[in-house]
Chains A and B, each alone.
Chain A
Amino acid sequence: MAEQEVVLLDEWLSMFGSRARIALAEKGIKYEYREEDLSNKSPLLLQMNPIHKKIPVLIRKGEPICESLIIVEYIDEVWKETAPLLPSDPYLRAQARFWADFVNKKVGDVGGRIWAGKKEEHEEAKKEIIENLKQLEETLGDKTFFGGETFGFVDIALVPFSPWFYTYEALCNFKVETHCPKLISWAHRCIQRQSVSKSLAAEKEIYDFVIDFRKKSQLD
C-alpha cells in the first residue's frame, strides 16, 4: 500500500461509495479504487472496518476513515485549499450537515425499505419517500445547488440517490418528477459536473441488480 497514499474500498453501485468518489474527484485527488465483492469481503475491508464491515472505507497512510459523510468531511478538511465542499460560515455549515443527515435518515433508510424490502412495505415507504423528497425540494427552492451557487456537501449527499429513483419508481409505481420537478432539474445540473457523472452508477445497472436481488431473496 506504500505506493498509493489514498485507497478507496468501494462497491460501484453503492450510493454511499459514490459520495466518496465525488468528493475525491471534486478535489482532484489521485487514489486507488478497489471494488469489493460484498458477498465475499476482503481481509483488508474486515481489518479496516471491523465494526460495520461496510464500504466505503477511505484508507490514507494506512489509516481507515469510515462512514460516507465522515469521509467527505475528512476529505474537505485535509485538502482544504481546493473546491471547499462545506461552507465556512458556522451556521451554513450546520445547515449543510443537518440536510445531509436528513438525506441519510429520510431517503437512504426509506429507499432501503423499497429496494430491499418486502412488497407489502412498499405502499408505506413510497408515501414517506415522496414526502421526504418534497421536503428536500422545498429546501432547494430555486437555488442552483443546495448551498446556493456552489456545488457542495448536501448535493454530494443526495445526488448518488438520483440513479436509484428509476428503481424506486418501477417498484412503487410513481414518478419522482411528478412531485419534485426541481429536484430532477437539480440532478441534471449535478450530472453536468464530471466529478458526478464519472462517479454515479447507471440506473439500468442498479435496476438489474435490484431485480436480481429481489428474486434471490424472494421479496415479491
Chain B
Amino acid sequence: MSEGEKVVKLLGAWPSPFVMRPRIALNIKSASYEFLEETLGSKSQLLLQSNPVHKKIPVLIHGDKPVCESLIIVEYVDQVFSSGPSILPSDPYDRSVARFWAAYLDDKWFPAMKAIAGAKGDEEGKALIQQLGEGLALMESAYHNISKGKPFFGGDRVGYLDIAFGCFLGWLRVTESHIGLKLLDQTKTPGLAQWAETFCADDAVKPVMPETDKLSEFAKLLMAKTASN
C-alpha cells in the first residue's frame, strides 16, 4: 500500500495549539485524516497505547504507526506527503533558522504565556508580560529577516515557522483580553499584525483556528477544573 493510501488518524483536541500544527500541515498537503477528539480530563486507551512515553496529544497514527510531538509530526507529514507543497524550507541553513525559532517559541515564549494565568501577584505577572512582549519583538525582527518582503515566514506559502508560531495566536488573543493589553498589534508589531491576519485567513488554517470567544470559555473551564483538583 502506498503512503498516500494508508489511513491517517490524528488524536487531539480542538483548543490545543500543538494539535493545530499537524492539522495545518495535513491541510497543506490536502491529506484526509480522521480527527479523534480526546476529552478533557481523561485519556483514551488509544492515546495511552500510541504515546505511552508522554501520554500527550497530538499523536498522528499513519497506518498503524504512531508519530508523537507536534513539530516532529509536521516534519513527518512534510516528508511523507511529498507531492504536496513543501512545508520546511529547502535550504539547510533556512531550515536550521526555522527550527531554532520554533524551539524558542516552545521552550521559552509559550511557557511564559501559559504561566501568566497562574502568576502569583503583580510582580511575577508583569515580568512574564514583559518577557512575552520582548519575545514578540524578536519574532517581528525574525519575520522581517526571514520573509524578505513575502507574506509568510515560509515565503509565498504557509511554512514550518508560520505553523509553529501561528498556532499560538488564539491563546495570545485570550491572554491579551485577560491582561487588558494588546501585545501583537499594528503599533508594536506591524509586520506580525499583518502576518497574523493573512495566516488566519489561509485555507489550511481557517478550518482549524478556534474562535477566541470559544477559547476564552474553554480557558475559564480549564481554570475552574485546575482550581478544583
Contact = CB atoms under 8 A, between A and B. Distances in A.
Interface of A: 51, 60, 63, 65-67, 70-71, 73-74, 77-78, 90-91, 93-94, 97-98, 101-102, 135
A63 B93 contact: yes
Contact of B67 (A67, A74, A91, A101): A91
A94 to B, nearest CB: 4
5 contacts: A65-B96, A67-B99, A91-B62, A91-B76, A98-B72
A24 to B, nearest CB: 15
B69 interface: yes
Interface string B72-100: 11011001100000000000110110011
A67 B95 CA distance: 13
Question: By CB atoms of chain A within 10 A, which of B80, B92, B96, B99 has the most?
Answer: B96
Interface in B79-125: 79-80, 92-93, 95-96, 99-100, 103-104
Given A63-B93, A135-B53, A70 B72 contact: no
Contact of A51 (B69, B72, B79, B138): B138
Contact count band on B: 20 to 34
A51 to B, nearest CB: 6
Report, nearest first, the 3 A-B pairs whose CB atoms are least far apart.
A77-B92, A90-B79, A94-B76
Given A90-B76, A135-B53, A74 B96 contact: yes
Contacts of A71: 96
Given A65-B93, A101-B69, A70 B100 contact: yes
B134 to A, nearest CB: 10
Contacts of B80: 90
A181 to B, nearest CB: 21
Nearest to B82: A90
Contacts of B95: 73-74, 77
Interface of B: 53, 62, 65, 67-69, 72-73, 75-76, 79-80, 92-93, 95-96, 99-100, 103-104, 138
B15 to A, nearest CB: 23
A74 to B, nearest CB: 4
Nearest to B73: A94
**Dominant secondary structure of chain B at its interface with chain A:** helix
A73 B99 contact: yes
Given A66-B100, A70-B99, 15 more contacts: A51-B138, A63-B93, A65-B100, A67-B99, A67-B103, A73-B95, A74-B92, A74-B95, A78-B92, A90-B76, A91-B67, A94-B76, A97-B72, A98-B69, A102-B53
Contacts of B75: 93-94, 97
A63 B67 CA distance: 32
Nearest to B78: A90
A101 B73 CA distance: 13
A74 B96 CA distance: 6
Contacts of A91: 62, 65, 67, 76
Nearest to B76: A94
Contacts of A60: 93
Nearest to B51: A98
A93 B65 CA distance: 13
A102 B72 CA distance: 12
Contacts of B79: 90, 93
Nearest to A58: B96
Contact of A93 (B62, B76, B99): B76
B55 to A, nearest CB: 13
A91 B104 CA distance: 25
Contacts of A74: 92-93, 95-96
Question: By CB atoms of chain B within 10 A, which of A74, A90, A102 has the most?
Answer: A90
Given A51-B138, A91-B67, A67 B100 contact: yes
A98 B100 contact: no
